[in-house]
Amino acid sequence: MTTGTLVLAIQGGSDNWSPQRWLERFTSVCAGRRVALLPDPELDPDEVRYAATWIPQPGALAAFRNLRAIFNLGAGVDALLGDASLPQVPIVRVAVDDLTGRMTEYVVLHVLAHHRRLFALREDQARKLWRPRAQPAATAVTVGILGMGTLGQDAAAVLRRIGFRAVGWSQSTKAVDGVECFSGPEQLPAFLRRTHILVCLLPLTPETRHILNRALFEQLGRDSPLGAPVLVNAGRGGLQVEADIVGCLDDGTLGAATLDVFEREPLPPESPLWSHPKVIVTPHNAADTDPDAISVYVAEQITRLEAGLPLQNVVDRARGY
């Protein structure tokens, strides 16, 4: 038996968040290590060395004074960092090809849906209208990506490959092949002016909360061959001001939006976003979390740590991502 228990603190939801499924996966990839699902009344807190979590109850990890690392089972750590009692050990976030590939699929799917006017084609079909629509070239459309991290850079590369122009915005200065890069608040207006389809893949932090608001939408490029600018947000709901999105769609500041994340989740039935004719709503599963891929990633990180190697993708608590 490998020493040091791994505990799982997981709030269930969809199939992929079934705590039992994670328990089985971790038990199978952790080679003899004890894996326990919280709450576990039999557990001696002092034997716990590692925790793997998804939106744990605040305080769920506070008793583990021998903890060496916390593994967040998703890319976004905003919910975890909200827990003031979290032990002061490294937090590792998910950065795996499986999740990245799924997010890139989502971004490309929705950029293309707006670019190729899928809404209008569906309406025509419903009315049995045979009406070919003008097709702007991808090379005439600029996709602006807010957040040029693991997910943003991969999406940009694939969008470039299918012909779109890409611009990106991040905190630090970057050089990414084929992508015009902007950074910091002072370069945000120049980034927005160039952007026709805005894709948001930012983390939710005190700096980014409510960044997707009317003042920002009004700065988007209005020379798009698609007409008005389009928004795709798959970052976090707290990044957006939903009343501003609805108002901007209604007055033409925005032409359409795809939203995977919301201020309140599940999106309440009374939200006008559900039935807005210019909005595609998806239920926060732009990039599903696969227990098979992610349990292997966590087990590898534990092996690295125990071999004296540094953990990868460690969260900077001060920055909040």
Based on the shown chain and the rule CB under 6 A, indicate whether residue 235 belongs to the binding site for ligand NDP. Answer: yes
Distance CA 98, CA 111 (A): 20
Question: What binding mask, one character per residue, do residues 240-279 give for ligand OXD by CB under 6 A, x or -?
Answer: ----------------------------------------
Residue 92 CB, nearest approach to ligand OXD (Å): 13
Catalytic residue among 284, 304, 317, 319: 284
Q: Which two tokens stand for residue 61?
A: 């990890």
Question: What binding mask, one character per residue, do residues 259-288 give for ligand NDP by CB under 6 A, x or -?
Answer: -xx----------------------xxxx-
Based on the shown chain and the rule CB under 6 A, indicate whether residue 56 belongs to the binding site for ligand OXD. Answer: no
Residue 93 is among the residues annotated as catalytic for this protein: no
Q: Which does 6 bind (CB under 5 to 8 A by kind): ligand OXD, ligand NDP, none?
A: none
* Residue in 4, 13, 76, 101 binding ligand OXD, rule: CB under 6 A: 76
Q: Which does 306 bind (CB under 5 to 8 A by kind): ligand OXD, ligand NDP, none?
A: none
* Residue in 75, 179, 220, 259 binding ligand NDP, rule: CB under 6 A: 75
Based on the shown chain and the rule CB under 6 A, indicate whether residue 151 belongs to the binding site for ligand OXD. Answer: no
Based on the shown chain and the rule CB under 6 A, indicate whether residue 297 belongs to the binding site for ligand NDP. Answer: no
CA atoms within 13 A on the CB side of 255: 21
**143 has which bridge partners?**
166, 197
* Residue in 92, 199, 202, 212 binding ligand NDP, rule: CB under 6 A: 202
Query: Which of residues 61 and 75 has its CB atom nearest to ligand OXD in the complex?
Result: 75
Distance CA 191, CA 220 (A): 8
Smallest CA-to-CA distance from 199 within 163, 230, 160, 176 is with 230
**Cα Rg of the chain (Å, integer):** 21
Please state whether beta strands 69-72 and 35-37 pair in parallel, antiparallel, or not at all (unpaired): unpaired
Q: Which does 221 bind (CB under 5 to 8 A by kind): ligand NDP, ligand OXD, none?
A: none
- Inter-residue contact 163 to 137 (CB < 8 Å): yes
CB neighbour list of residue 132: distance below 8 Å, 6 or more residues apart: none
Torsion from C-alpha of 121, 126, 132, 137, nearest 10 degrees: 0
Based on the shown chain and the rule CB under 6 A, indicate whether residue 13 belongs to the binding site for ligand NDP. Answer: no
Catalytic residue among 114, 115, 165, 236: 236
Return the beta strands (E) in the chain as ranges.
Answer: 5-10, 35-37, 48-54, 69-72, 91-92, 142-146, 165-170, 179-183, 197-200, 230-233, 256-259, 279-281
Query: Which of residues 29 and 96 has its CB atom nearest to ligand OXD in the complex?
Result: 96
Q: How many CB atoms lie within 10 A of CB 24?
A: 14
Based on the shown chain and the rule CB under 6 A, indicate whether residue 238 belongs to the binding site for ligand OXD. Answer: no
Query: Which of residues 127 and 264 has its CB atom nearest to ligand OXD in the complex?
Result: 264
Based on the shown chain and the rule CB under 6 A, indicate whether residue 211 belongs to the binding site for ligand OXD. Answer: no
Residue 317 is among the residues annotated as catalytic for this protein: no
Based on the shown chain and the rule CB under 6 A, indicate whether residue 207 belongs to the binding site for ligand NDP. Answer: yes
What is the biggest distance separating any 2 CA atoms in the chain, rounded to whole angstroms? 69
Which strands make up the sheet holding 5-10, listed edge to edge? Answer: 35-37, 5-10, 48-54, 69-72, 91-92
Q: Give catalytic residues, as residue numbers.
A: 236, 284
Positions touching ligand OXD (CB under 6 A) are: 74-76, 94, 99, 287, 289
Instruction: Kindly list the residues in this chain that would bind ligand NDP in the complex (CB under 6 A).
Output: 74-76, 95, 103, 147-152, 169-172, 201-205, 207-208, 234-236, 260-261, 284-287, 321
